[in-house]
Amino acid sequence: MSPSLQLVAASCLLFLSLPLLPRAAEYTVGDGPWDTGTNYAAWADNHAFVAGDVLVFQYVKSQHNVFEVTEGTYRSCDTSAGVLKGYTTGFDRIELTEARSYWFICDYPGHCVGGMKLAVNVSAGSAGRGDAGPPPSVPLPPSGSAAVPSPAGGCRSWAAWALTLSVFVVVNYI
């Protein structure tokens, strides 16, 4: 198989597997308003966050805010242990850009102690969500075979060819 054909095959496999990769999602924190009546630990436990996901904090802006803080501040609710960033719009969209832990609290007096605190662990994009795994490997035809589409044939003919071959293999396997 020629190097250019290998390149076409590799890019086509990548192209065809794109829909299988996890997509960044947007989450309303607590599935409702950011307030003192929600169990954010339970909410976070029910979600698997990947880098690129966005958290949306919705609240009345004269009553709450969102501080991204250190783990120490998250645990103690004492901002002297470290504040990284403050948000005050009442509709804060915060992108979880990195695969790491993030901690958020509300800085209004008593609110963090009252439960307005959120910790999330963010995993890397392709490994974090779903179990799609790597794209399936497709057996390649003998070099020079008439069934091999030319590089000019592009991804569509590769896709059609790969699909046909997969169906053939599966049918024979059953």
Ligand X SMILES: *[C@@H]1O[C@H](CO)[C@@H](O)[C@H](O)[C@H]1NC(C)=O
For residue 119, state whether it binds ligand X (rule: CB under 6 A). Answer: yes
64, 74, 96, 118: which one contacts Cu ion (CB under 5 A)?
A: 64
The DSSP output letter for 79 is: G
Chain centroid offset of residue 36 CA: 27
3-state SS assignment for residue 87: strand
For residue 4, state whether it binds ligand X (rule: CB under 6 A). Answer: no
8, 12, 116, 122: which one contacts Cu ion (CB under 5 A)?
A: 116
12, 44, 116, 148: which one contacts ligand X (CB under 6 A)?
A: 44
> How many C-beta atoms lie closer than 10 Å to residue 117's C-beta?
20
Q: Residue 4 — φ and ψ, nearest 5°?
A: -70, -35
Element (H, E) at 91: strand 91-95
Interface segment toward Cu ion; rule CB under 5 A; list 5-13, 80-88, 101-109, 149-157: 101-109
Size of the site for ligand X (CB under 6 A): 5
- 108 makes contact, choosing from ligand X, Cu ion, none, with CB < 5 to 8 Å by partner type, with Cu ion
Place of tokens 């832990």: 101
Contact residues: Cu ion, CB under 5 A: 64, 106, 108, 111, 116
